[in-house]
Amino acid sequence: MESVADAVDRLNRLAAIPELVQLAAAFAAAGHELALVGGPVRDAFLGRPVSDLDLTTDARPEQILAIVEPSADAVWEIGRDFGTIGTRFGGHTLEITTYRSDAYDGSSRKPEVMFGDSLDDDLVRRDFTINAMALRLPDGEHPEPRLIDPTGGVDDLLARTLRTPSAPEVSFGDDPLRMLRAARFSAQLGFALRSDALAAAQGMADRLAIVSAERIGAELAKLMLAADPVAGIRLLVDSGVAQVVLPEIPALRLEIDEHARHKDVYEHSLIALDRAIELEKSRGHEPDLVLRLAVLLHDIGKPATRVIEPGGAVSFHHHDVLGAKLAAKRLRALRFDNDTVKAVAELIRLHLRFFGYADGAWTDSAVRRYVRDAGPLLEQLHILSRADVTTRNRRKADQLAFAYDDLEERIATLTEEEELAAIRPDLDGEQIMRILGIGPGRDVGEAYRFLLEERLEQGPLGAEEAEARLRSWWSTRG
């Protein structure tokens, strides 16, 4: 926050949005309160962009509908049972929710929905004090917007602290997902969870068992796309929440990195994630969920493959293959979409390929295979491979960086010369069938794969040379 005065100015400008002025007047005319609540108020204080406009009111859902329908561009009632009416005014999409005073029975994070009549009571039931502030919009009695902050959210914004409005044991007991949300806010805002809330989470993490995998996965995705996901991951691990939702990460703390880069693989993985985000920015990319998940999870195969070799050296043979399988299993359990699961697993499977290049220059054939195997994930594999180099040995780090620079330059040269991104045999399936006098079937696929291998080994052959090699190969098959 720059200053409270700046924050007040931003809040006043927010309240002056024409659509909100129009809505506030309509609700006041109908005898109801209307307030901006939660995220928009918090972000205006912090000088962050305000996207979603969430409002709350004492009006019941049917009354909200009666007020907004005459002038709204669109209205939808999907959340009506929970008191929420969605609407679009001009360029703004809004959600208007009736004050709530829900009751939880402890066996589910879904409360018995109960509508309330008090804005203060509605705010006190929210997750953290920084989200429990509201901006009452002007009405006939009060011509200016008013900040409502019954739980001290402004003080916690200034202190950069995450605190629950009620006792943390009560708040987390009502909705265990709030423990995971704390880590997400830590990653997004850089705020620290207060010690009493951290202690409560450490004793209540297993309560997340009542939360759906989809909700947990969605929170993790938001955390990973935040400005500082490492801060969020550390809070997940320190609070014990990771042991429940992503146990592969705290397990890394027990393993010693084979290159002795850091005291354990957990620290190496978090440093690699920070490096990947720096590279992501420097190369002009937007936050990439696939890349960030792959970097975080790239070494989770190490605990199960750890072997103490004669002489005391530690090895983790095939941890890339096992890690890819473990990552896919965990991400599927968290209901990530299939494309994300497959891409993350493939990056983990490929993440050690580069280190063979650093040991000795590859042939053009090996470079082509690297590009072919990475496919559309090539740029993400570049970043993952570079981020994985976290050695404190400056000379070794420079050697690996120079080696990867060389690899990328060779890829660029071969791509320009040979169109590597679209490597195909010099003959297509129709040509193969015509030359060999055969119809569709397994033989065509085998012939295609043979020509593809020739193309990878030798580069472009031309149609005439490819036909000669195809006929020679076919003759050896009898």
The answer to which of 78-87, 188-197, 315-324, 355-364 has the lowest mean pLDDT is 355-364
For residue 103, what pLDDT is reported? Answer: 60
Query: Using 50, 70 and 90 to split pLDDT, how confident is the model at 254?
Result: low
For residue 340, what pLDDT is reported? Answer: 97
**pLDDT for 261 beyond 50:** no
Q: Please tell me whether residues 400 and 438 are part of one structural domain.
A: no
Calpha distance 138→15 (Å, rounded): 8
Of 69-83, 242-256, 328-342, 376-390, give the range with the top mean pLDDT: 328-342
Q: Please tell me whether residues 412 and 265 are part of one structural domain.
A: yes
For residue 422, what pLDDT is reported? Answer: 58
Q: Please tell me whether residues 34 and 183 are part of one structural domain.
A: no
Domain boundary among 191, 221, 246: 246
Q: Please tell me whether residues 96 and 212 are part of one structural domain.
A: no
For residue 371, what pLDDT is reported? Answer: 86
The answer to which of 19-33, 142-156, 242-256, 288-302 has the lowest mean pLDDT is 242-256
The answer to which of 156-160, 255-259, 283-287 has the lowest mean pLDDT is 255-259
Domain boundary among 246, 277, 312: 246
Higher pLDDT among residues 139 and 327, named by residue: 327
For residue 108, what pLDDT is reported? Answer: 58
Calpha distance 353→382 (Å, rounded): 11
**pLDDT for 258 beyond 50:** no
Q: Please tell me whether residues 260 and 219 are part of one structural domain.
A: no
Write a three-state SS string for the chain.
Answer: CCCHHHHHHHHHHHHCCHHHHHHHHHHHHCCCCCEEECHHHHHHHHCCCCCCEEEEECCCHHHHHHHHCCCCCEEECCCHHHCEEEEEECCEEEEEEECECCECCCCCCCCECCECCCHHHHHHCCCCHHHCCEEECCCCCCCCCEEECCCCHHHHHHHCEECCCCCHHHHHHHCCHHHHHHHHHHHHHCCEECHHHHHHHHHHHHHHHHCCHHHHHHHHHHHHCCCCHHHHHHHHHHHCHHHHHCCHHHHHHHCCCCCCCCCCHHHHHHHHHHHHHHHHHHCCCCCCHHHHHHHHHCCCCHHHHCEECCCCCEECCCHHHHHHHHHHHHHHHCCCCHHHHHHHHHHHHHCCHHHHHHHCCCCHHHHHHHHHHHHHHHHHHHHHHHHCCCCCCHHHHHHHHHHHHHHHHHHHHHHHHHCHHHCCCCCCHHHHHHHHCCCCCHHHHHHHHHHHHHHHHHCCCCHHHHHHHHHHHHHHCC
For residue 78, what pLDDT is reported? Answer: 83
**pLDDT for 113 beyond 80:** no
- The position carrying tokens 């108020």 is 41
For residue 470, give both structure tokens: 């195809």
Calpha distance 379→375 (Å, rounded): 9
Provide the number of structural domains found in the chain.
4
The answer to which of 155-169, 287-301, 437-451 has the lowest mean pLDDT is 437-451
**Which distant-in-sequence residues (6+ apart) come within 8 Å of 380 by Cβ?**
288, 290, 291, 294, 343, 347
Calpha distance 319→34 (Å, rounded): 56
- CA dihedral over 255, 260, 264, 269, signed as positive or negative: negative
**pLDDT for 260 beyond 50:** no
For residue 461, give both structure tokens: 């052959």
Q: Please tell me whether residues 291 and 382 are part of one structural domain.
A: yes
For residue 9, what pLDDT is reported? Answer: 86
For residue 446, what pLDDT is reported? Answer: 85
Q: Write the CATH number for 240.
A: 1.10.110.30
For residue 107, what pLDDT is reported? Answer: 59
**Which distant-in-sequence residues (6+ apart) come within 8 Å of 475 by Cβ?**
none
For residue 360, what pLDDT is reported? Answer: 67
Q: Write the CATH number for 318.
A: 1.10.3210
What average pLDDT does the chain have?
Answer: 88
For residue 262, what pLDDT is reported? Answer: 41
Residues 355-361 have a mean pLDDT of 70
- In this structure, the number of other CB atoms found within 10 A of the CB of residue 473 comes to 15
pLDDT in tens, 339-353: 999 999 999 999 998
Query: Using 50, 70 and 90 to split pLDDT, how confident is the model at 257?
Result: very low
Q: Please tell me whether residues 178 and 325 are part of one structural domain.
A: no
**pLDDT for 295 beyond 60:** yes
The percent of residues above 70 in pLDDT, for the chain, comes to 92
- In this structure, the number of other CB atoms found within 10 A of the CB of residue 448 comes to 17
Q: Please tell me whether residues 130 and 170 are part of one structural domain.
A: no
- The domain of 441 spans 424-476
pTM, 2 dp = 0.82
pLDDT in tens, 137-193: 988 677 789 999 999 999 999 999 999 999 999 999 999 999 999 999 999 999 999
Q: Write the CATH number for 13.
A: 3.30.460.10
Q: Please tell me whether residues 321 and 413 are part of one structural domain.
A: yes
The residues facing 97 across adjacent strands are 56, 84
Of 161-170, 253-262, 451-460, give the range with the top mean pLDDT: 161-170
Q: Please tell me whether residues 265 and 388 are part of one structural domain.
A: yes
Q: Please tell me whether residues 140 and 183 are part of one structural domain.
A: no
Calpha distance 297→46 (Å, rounded): 32
Domain boundary among 423, 443, 468: 423
Q: Please tell me whether residues 382 and 326 are part of one structural domain.
A: yes
For residue 225, what pLDDT is reported? Answer: 98
Residues 362-388 have a mean pLDDT of 89
**pLDDT for 57 beyond 80:** yes
